[in-house]
Every structure is written in structure tokens, then in C-alpha cells.
């Protein structure tokens, strides 16, 4: 399961995989079509190429050279889009552009056309080293069809690229990625996590990188068989270093024997995926971080675009409202006897709000429309959480901080009045110093 999960993540973000598959399919398809013989009375005769062998070779040569030029153009435009997204919005958005399925499909069509036409040059007009007028005419017609498809893809890609670098498309893509994670399991326990006892044994990380996925259910059978409990020290999305403590393992009492720690470290390495980058497999904070980066960069003096920050906050509101009604916290797997458990720490709702809203609040405290956008986000969450005291307290604290920062940064009384009025609409009195 872990191998399939990692393979699916890699394939989704690799620009060469689908073009490579399309090239192989084009070779097989060209070989199959070249075996089709069409006589003058065949119903497929009107579809067959009507020129000579020299005409066919000239056509395939032209198609090959044209497609190579177009591929270079498309790759150049893609690099420009990646550079613009990195500098204008956030470097963490690059993976979203690399995973764009439309770009992968366009490159696949171009590569299929190039490979199909180039392979045809080996057979069209040549036979055993000599010239011949016998050639697979239907296969040459297929090259023409692929050429028209490639030209259509050029127009489509230009339109797609122009739309994909718009702020609405960028933020919507980040929002959808985070919502896909939100539909999975974000935690099973919001209670205070148990503290490992003094006799707990450290399990070290066998590689450096970011924790991409963690599956406690995969480690539970081994822990249950030896009667021990395991608790990771790091959340999904956090960075670990080889040789440092990744988790702690302990027996029910100090007198109980503890199994081989090296064996459990190897098992932990299989249950926890560590890679060189953060992904959206289980890390919903990474998706929200992308939108937070867009908002913070828009509020920087170099860009100074508060409305872009407001748009990013609006998309963050969708994600926060999705997790406001979901169980959050630690992911805990327990055996039926209740003796062993495997715990992966997770963030509570209050931690998400404090970290992500707090960053935008500190950058945008002097801009009323940013403060009002944050208050709308909190108001939407407050309408969904009901009477949950912990989550309501987290929202109340953030409302307090927003108004306090606004009072400190905003000098115009009318602007400040709007922020105070929006805070009162949420249902809280005028904030006081926390």
C-alpha cells in the first residue's frame, strides 16, 4: 500500500511519465496501422495518403521538425509560468503547476506526434536499403491527424496557461488540493496525548526529510505482538534528521522487557514515508500554507496587493470551514485489548487557526480589508462549530488579537470602527487584552 501510495504521488508530479507512455503507445499504434493494407476498393481508401513516397517522407520530416520547435516553445512557456508563480505567489506552488494534468496531456500529444512521425521515416519510401513506392498510406494519414491534434493543443495550451497563472486559478487549485486531504482522516483523538514514561526507548529516523505520510495501523500489529506502545515525536509535514529520535517506544512497566529497538526502527521506516519535500497526501497544513504564503507575499512592501491577500483568505475560509466540523488531533491506533497503541501527533483546530491566521494578521494588521476578511473567516467557522468550547475559545482569542493589532496599527477611527463592528457581529464583546 505504501509503495502504491508513493508511486502515485511521484507519477502525478512527474512531467515525463505521461509523455513517455504516450510515446510508447504511438510506436505501437504506428506499427499496428502500418500493417494495414488498403486497396482501391476499400472503404478506407479515401482516408489513405494520396501522394507519392517522396511526398510522404517530406511530410513526415516537416511534421517532425515542426513538433520539435513547438515542444521547445511549450517547455519555455512552462518555465516562465513556474518562475512567475514562484516569484509572484509562492515557491511552494510550483508542485501544483508540475502536477497540472493539462500540461502533461499537451506534452504527451506532442511527444506522441514526434515519435510517430520519426518512426515512420524508417519505413516510408524505403525497403531493404532501396527506394520503393509501396508504403503504409494509412499510417501517413495518422501522422497528419496527430499534426492537427498538436496544432489544436498549441491553442489550448496558450489559453490554459493564460488562465492558470491568474490568482483565482492559483488559489482555487491550492484550495482543492487541501480539500482532498480534508476528506480523509485528520485525527481520531482531540484529548491530551499521553506522555511517554521515563523508561521509553527512542526509535531513530533512518533518513532525513519531511514526513509525508504516517500509517499507525501498519505498525500496530507488530506493537501489539510485543505488547508495547509507540508515539511519534513529529507531526506529518515536519522535518526530521537521520539519527535523531523519530518516535518513542515503551512497555507497560519499567520491569517489562523491551524488544529490539533496531527492528522497530526499520518497521517505523516502512510505516512512515519521509521524502525531500512536503506533499498533500496527508499534510493539510501544507495546502493551507500555500494560501497563507500567497496572502503574506501580497502584503509585503515589494508587492503591496491587499486584495490578493483577501482572495487568498476567502479560499482559506473554505478549508477552515471544512475542517471546523471534522475530528482533528492525534491519529491513534489501538489494539482490541487496549494494551498497545501507535500514536501520530496532529494539530488541533486552535493550532491551525493560531499559526495560519496569525501570520496573515501580523502582516496585514494595518489594512482594514485584510482584518475584515480574517474576521469573516472566523465568523464562518463560528457558525459551524456549535458549542465546542475549545474551538470557540480559539476563535475568540484570534478575534481578540485581530482587533488589538488593528487598534495598534490603524490610525483612522472610521476604519477601526468597521473592524470592531465586524468583531461584534461574530458574537463576542469588544475584545480585551488576552
Q: Considering only residues 154 and 84, tell me which one the structure prediction assigns the higher pLDDT.
A: 154
Q: How far apart are CA 9 and CA 281, in angstroms?
A: 8
Residues 145, 290, single domain; the answer is no
pLDDT at 237: 93
Q: Can you point out the beta strands (E) in 269-365?
A: 272-275, 331-334, 341-344
What is the band of 321 on the pLDDT scale with cuts at 50, 70, 90?
Answer: very high
226 has pLDDT over 60: yes
Whether 118 maps to a domain, the answer reads yes
Q: Can you point out the beta strands (E) in 256-348?
A: 272-275, 331-334, 341-344
Residues 161, 289, single domain; the answer is no
Q: How far apart are CA 118 and CA 61, in angstroms?
A: 8
Q: Is the dihedral of CA 152, 153, 157, 158 positive or negative?
A: negative
Whether 102 maps to a domain, the answer reads yes
Q: Cβ contacts of residue 63 below 8 Å, gap of 6+?
A: 113, 117, 143, 144, 146, 147
pLDDT at 310: 95
Strand partners, 187: none
Tell me the average pLDDT across 240-269: 91
132 has pLDDT over 80: no
Question: Domain of 312?
Answer: 284-329+347-425
pLDDT at 131: 58
Tens digit of each residue's pLDDT (9 = 90 or more) over 362-375 = 999 999 999 999 99
287 has pLDDT over 60: yes
Tell me 325's DSSP state: T
188 has pLDDT over 80: no
Whether 185 maps to a domain, the answer reads no
Q: State which of 150, 165, 180 marks the end of a domain.
A: 165
What element of type H or E holds 383? Answer: helix 368-385
Tens digit of each residue's pLDDT (9 = 90 or more) over 384-414 = 988 888 899 999 999 999 999 999 999 888 8
Q: Are 107 and 18 in contact (CB under 8 A)?
A: yes
Question: Which grid coordinates belong to 76?
Answer: 519555455
Q: Are 294 and 312 in contact (CB under 8 A)?
A: yes
Whether 276 maps to a domain, the answer reads no
pLDDT at 14: 83
pLDDT at 1: 46
Whether 27 maps to a domain, the answer reads yes
Average pLDDT, rounded, for the chain: 87
| pLDDT above 70: percentage of residues in the chain | 94
Question: Which grid coordinates belong to 57?
Answer: 517522407
278 has pLDDT over 50: yes
Q: State which of 122, 140, 165 marks the end of a domain.
A: 165
Question: Strand 341-344 relative to strand 229-232: parallel, antiparallel, unpaired?
Answer: parallel
pLDDT at 431: 45
pLDDT at 129: 55
Cβ-defined contacts of 130-133 (< 8 Å, 24+): 131/53, 132/53, 133/52, 133/53
By CB neighbour count within 10 A (0-12 exposed, 13-18 middle, 19+ buried), where does 179 fall? middle
| pLDDT above 90: percentage of residues in the chain | 50
pLDDT at 433: 44
pLDDT at 133: 64
What element of type H or E holds 247? Answer: strand 245-250
pLDDT at 432: 44
Whether 201 maps to a domain, the answer reads no
What element of type H or E holds 311? Answer: helix 306-324
What element of type H or E holds 212? Answer: strand 209-214
140 has pLDDT over 90: no
243 has pLDDT over 80: yes
Tell me the average pLDDT across 103-123: 89
Whether 371 maps to a domain, the answer reads yes
Q: How far apart are CA 394 and CA 392, in angstroms?
A: 5
Number of separate domains in the chain: 2
pLDDT at 3: 66
Ranges 43-57, 112-126, 128-142: which has the least confidence = 128-142
Q: State which of 165, 180, 205 marks the end of a domain.
A: 165
Residues 154, 27, single domain; the answer is yes
Whether 222 maps to a domain, the answer reads no
Q: How far apart are CA 36 and CA 45, in angstroms?
A: 11
Tell me 199's DSSP state: T
What is the band of 85 on the pLDDT scale with cuts at 50, 70, 90?
Answer: confident
pLDDT at 434: 42
Amino acid at each position: 500500500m505504501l509503495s502504491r501510495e508513493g508511486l502515485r504521488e511521484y507519477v502525478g508530479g512527474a512531467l515525463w511519465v505521461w509523455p513517455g507512455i504516450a510515446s510508447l503507445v504511438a510506436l505501437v499504434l504506428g506499427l499496428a496501422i502500418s500493417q494495414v493494407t488498403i486497396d482501391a476498393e476499400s472503404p478506407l481508401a479515401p482516408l489513405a495518403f494520396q501522394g507519392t513516397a517522396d511526398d510522404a517522407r517530406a511530410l513526415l520530416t516537416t511534421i517532425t521538425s515542426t513538433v520539435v520547435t513547438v515542444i521547445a516553445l511549450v517547455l519555455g512557456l512552462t518555465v516562465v509560468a513556474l518562475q512567475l508563480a514562484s516569484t509572484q505567489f509562492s515557491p511552494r506552488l510550483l508542485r501544483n503547476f508540475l502536477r497540472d494534468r493539462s500540461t502533461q496531456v499537451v506534452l504527451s500529444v506532442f511527444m506522441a506526434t514526434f515519435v510517430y512521425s520519426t518512426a515512420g521515416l524508417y519505413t516510408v519510401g524505403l525497403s531493404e536499403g532501396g527506394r520503393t513506392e509501396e508504403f503504409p498510406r494509412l499510417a501517413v494519414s495518422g501522422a497528419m491527424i496527430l499534426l492537427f491534434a498538436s496544432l489544436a493543443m498549441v491553442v489550448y495550451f496558450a489559453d490554459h496557461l493564460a488562465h492558470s497563472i491568474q490568482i483565482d486559478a492559483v488559489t482555487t487549485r491550492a484550495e482543492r488540493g487541501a480539500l482532498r486531504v480534508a476528506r480523509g482522516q485528520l485525527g481520531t483523538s482531540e484529548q491530551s496525548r499521553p506522555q511517554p514514561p521515563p523508561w521509553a526507548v527512542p526509535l531513530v529516523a533512518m533518513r532525513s526529510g519531511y514526513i509525508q505520510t504516517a500509517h499507525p495501523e501498519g505498525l500496530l500489529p507488530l506493537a501489539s505482538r510485543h505488547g508495547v506502545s509507540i508515539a511519534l515525536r513529529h507531526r506529518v509535514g515536519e522535518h526530521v534528521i537521520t539519527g535523531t529520535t523519530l518516535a518513542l517506544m515503551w512497555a507497560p512497566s519499567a520491569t517489562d522487557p523491551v524488544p529490539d529497538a533496531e527492528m522497530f526502527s526499520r518497521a517505523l521506516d516502512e510505516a512512515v514515508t519521509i521524502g525531500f519535500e512536503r506533499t498533500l497526501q496527508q499534510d493539510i497544513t501544507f495546502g493551507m500554507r500555500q494560501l497563507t504564503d500567497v496572502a503574506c507575499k501580497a502584503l509585503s512592501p515589494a508587492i503591496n496587493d491587499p486584495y490578493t491577500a483577501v482572495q487568498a483568505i476567502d479560499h482559506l475560509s473554505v478549508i477552515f470551514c471544512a475542517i471546523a466540523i471534522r475530528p482533528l488531533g492525534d491519529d491513534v491506533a489501538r489494539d482490541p485489548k487496549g494494551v498497545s497503541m501507535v500514536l501520530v501527533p496532529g494539530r488541533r483546530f486552535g493550532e491551525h487557526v493560531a499559526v495560519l491566521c496569525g501570520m496573515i494578521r501580523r502582516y496585514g494588521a494595518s489594512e482594514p480589508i485584510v482584518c475584515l476578511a480574517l474576521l469573516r473567516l472566523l465568523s464562518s467557522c463560528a457558525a459551524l462549530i456549535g458549542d465546542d468550547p475549545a474551538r470557540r475559545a480559539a476563535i475568540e482569542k484570534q478575534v481578540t488579537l485581530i482587533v488589538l493589532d488593528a487598534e495598534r496599527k490603524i490610525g483612522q477611527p472610521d476604519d477601526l470602527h468597521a473592524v470592531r463592528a465586524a468583531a461584534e457581529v461574530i458574537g463576542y464583546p469588544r475584545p480585551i487584552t488576552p
